[in-house]
C-alpha cells in the first residue's frame, strides 16, 4: 500500500442493508487508527458492471461483493485461483489499475476451523457437506486444499451436488438428501444450506452417528447458536460457527485495502454478535 491518504472501500449488494461488513471494517479502522472509511452501496444487477468499471472514479480502492453480484464480479475482474475455482468473487481490489478478485469464504472457513478446533484436519479421510450452493462451493474447494480424500455432498436438489463433482473432481461424492450416509467415518460435518437460519426450516441430523472426535461447522450465523450447533455441543462435539467464518473471511479484504492484517478478537466478535441479536 503506497500512501497515507485516507482510503475508502465498500460492500456492494442488492439488497445490502443486512451486511455486517461495515461494522467489522469500520471497527478495525478505528481500532488501528487508520484513516479510511467503509460504506454500503446498494446497486441493482443492471448497474453492477458500470459501478465496478467506475470503482476507482468513485474513490474506492476495492469492495466486498455480496448477493446477487458474486458471479458478475468474477467475470468483470482478474480472479485468483480461489475465486476461479469457486466460480464466484466476494472481494475486489485495484492493483496498479487492474481490478483483481478473490473469494475469501475459502480462507474464512479454514481459518475459523483452525481457530476453533486446531487439529480438525488431522484425519482428512472424509467430510460431509450439506448443501451445494455458492457457500458449499467455497467449502468443498477449501476441503480439497486441506487434502480431504472424500467429500460427501448432500443436497436437496441432487443435480447441484452432481455439478460439484464435475467442478471439483472425484473426491466429491454426491448424495441425495434422503440417502443414508456414513457419518460414522466423518471427521467433519458442515451445514452450508440455509436450513436453521432465522425464518427458515430447521435442520435435523442424527449426530449420534458421528465419531466423538468429529467437528461440526455451521455457516449460518443468524441465529448465532443454531439448533445444529446446540445439538453438537450437547453431544460433546467441537463446533465452529458462522460468525467466526464471517469475521475471518473479512481479514484479507481489509489487508488488501488498508495495508494492515487485522486480528479477529473476542471484542470484535462480541460487537458483531450483539448486532446480530438486535
The dihedral through the CA atoms of 263, 30, 266, 200 has a sign that is negative
* DSSP code of residue 190: E
Which one of 30, 53, 70, 260 is the catalytic residue? 70
CB of 192 to ligand NAP, least distance (A): 6
Which residue reads 467437528 in cell numbers?
A: 215
In contact, 8 and 39? CB cutoff 8 Å: yes
The region that residue 96 occupies, defined by phi over 0 for left and psi between -120 and 50 for alpha, beta otherwise, is: left
Asked if 83 is part of the footprint of ligand NAP (rule: CB under 6 A), the reply reads: no
Window of 79-87, 94-102, 153-161, 207-215 that interacts with ligand NAP by CB under 6 A: 153-161
Asked if 246 is part of the footprint of ligand NAP (rule: CB under 6 A), the reply reads: yes
CA–CA distance from 118 to each of 183, 207, 242, 273 (Å)? 21, 21, 17, 23
Site for ligand NAP in 3-62 (CB under 6 A): none
**70 belongs to the catalytic site:** yes
Question: Of these, 22, 133, 223, 227, which contacts ligand NAP (CB under 6 A)?
Answer: 133
CB of 222 to ligand NAP, least distance (A): 8
Residue 88 C-beta-side C-alpha neighbours within 13 Å: 19
- Among the listed residues 195, 228, 193, 198, the one whose alpha carbon sits nearest the alpha carbon of residue 210: 228
Q: What pairs with residue 79 in β-bridges? A: 101
Q: Which residue is nearest to ligand NAP (CB)?
A: 133
Asked if 139 is part of the footprint of ligand NAP (rule: CB under 6 A), the reply reads: no
Question: Of these, 197, 229, 264, 272, which contacts ligand NAP (CB under 6 A)?
Answer: 197
Asked if 136 is part of the footprint of ligand NAP (rule: CB under 6 A), the reply reads: yes
Question: Of these, 156, 165, 260, 269, which contacts ligand NAP (CB under 6 A)?
Answer: 156
Asked if 163 is part of the footprint of ligand NAP (rule: CB under 6 A), the reply reads: no
Beta pairing, strands 126-130 & 150-155: parallel
Asked if 157 is part of the footprint of ligand NAP (rule: CB under 6 A), the reply reads: yes
| For ligand NAP, the closer CB: 16 or 132 | 132
Asked if 124 is part of the footprint of ligand NAP (rule: CB under 6 A), the reply reads: no
Distance (Å, whole) CA 12 – CA 62? 10
* DSSP code of residue 6: -
Asked if 107 is part of the footprint of ligand NAP (rule: CB under 6 A), the reply reads: no
Q: What pairs with residue 230 in β-bridges? A: none
Distance (Å, whole) CA 251 – CA 185? 33
Residue 18 backbone dihedrals phi, psi, to 5 degrees: -75, -15
CB of 98 to ligand NAP, least distance (A): 26
Site for ligand NAP in 200-229 (CB under 6 A): 201, 219-221
CB of 196 to ligand NAP, least distance (A): 8
Using DSSP's 3-state secondary structure scheme, residue 104 falls into: coil
Q: Which residues contact 208 (CB under 8 A, 6 or more apart)?
A: 235
Residues in contact with ligand NAP, counted by CB under 6 A, come to a total of: 25
List active site positions. Answer: 70
Instruction: Give me the residues that bind ligand NAP (CB under 6 A), please.
Output: 105, 108, 131-136, 155-157, 160, 192-195, 197, 201, 219-221, 242, 245-246, 249
Amino acid at each position: 500500500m503506497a500512501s497515507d491518504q485516507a482510503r475508502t472501500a465498500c460492500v456492494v449488494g442488492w439488497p445490502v442493508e443486512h451486511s455486517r461488513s461495515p461494522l467489522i471494517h469500520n471497527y478495525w479502522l478505528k481500532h488501528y487508527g487508520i484513516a479510511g472509511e467503509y460504506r454500503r452501496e446498494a446497486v441493482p444487477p443492471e448497474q453492477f458492471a458500470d459501478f465496478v468499471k467506475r470503482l476507482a472514479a468513485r474513490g474506492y480502492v476495492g469492495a466486498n461483493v455480496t448477493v446477487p453480484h458474486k458471479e458478475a464480479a468474477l467475470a468483470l475482474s482478474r480472479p485468483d485461483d480461489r475465486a476461479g475455482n469457486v466460480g464466484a468473487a466476494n472481494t475486489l481490489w485495484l492493483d496498479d489499475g487492474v481490478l483483481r478478485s478473490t473469494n475469501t469464504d475459502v480462507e474464512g472457513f479454514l481459518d475459523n476451523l483452525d481457530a476453533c478446533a486446531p487439529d480438525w484436519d488431522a484425519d482428512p479421510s472424509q467430510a460431509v457437506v450439506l448443501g451445494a450452493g455458492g457457500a458449499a462451493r467455497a467449502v468443498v474447494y477449501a476441503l480439497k486444499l486441506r487434502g480431504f480424500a472424500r467429500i460427501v455432498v448432500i443436497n436437496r436438489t441432487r443435480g447441484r451436488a452432481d455439478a460439484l463433482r464435475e467442478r471439483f473432481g472425484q473426491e466429491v461424492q454426491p448424495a441425495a438428501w434422503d440417502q443414508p450416509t456414513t457419518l460414522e467415518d466423518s471427521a467433519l460435518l458442515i451445514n452450508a444450506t440455509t436450513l436453521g437460519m432465522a425464518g427458515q426450516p430447521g435442520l435435523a441430523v442424527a449426530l449420534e452417528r458421528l465419531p466423538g472426535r468429529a467437528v461440526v461447522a455451521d455457516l449460518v450465523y443468524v441465529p448465532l447458536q443454531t439448533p445444529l450447533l446446540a445439538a453438537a455441543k450437547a453431544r460433546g462435539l467441537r463446533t465452529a460457527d458462522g460468525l467466526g467464518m464471517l469475521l475471518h473471511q473479512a481479514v484479507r479484504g481489509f489487508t488488501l485495502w488498508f495495508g494492515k492484517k487485522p486480528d479477529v478478537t473476542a471484542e470484535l466478535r462480541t460487537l458483531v454478535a450483539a448486532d446480530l441479536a438486535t
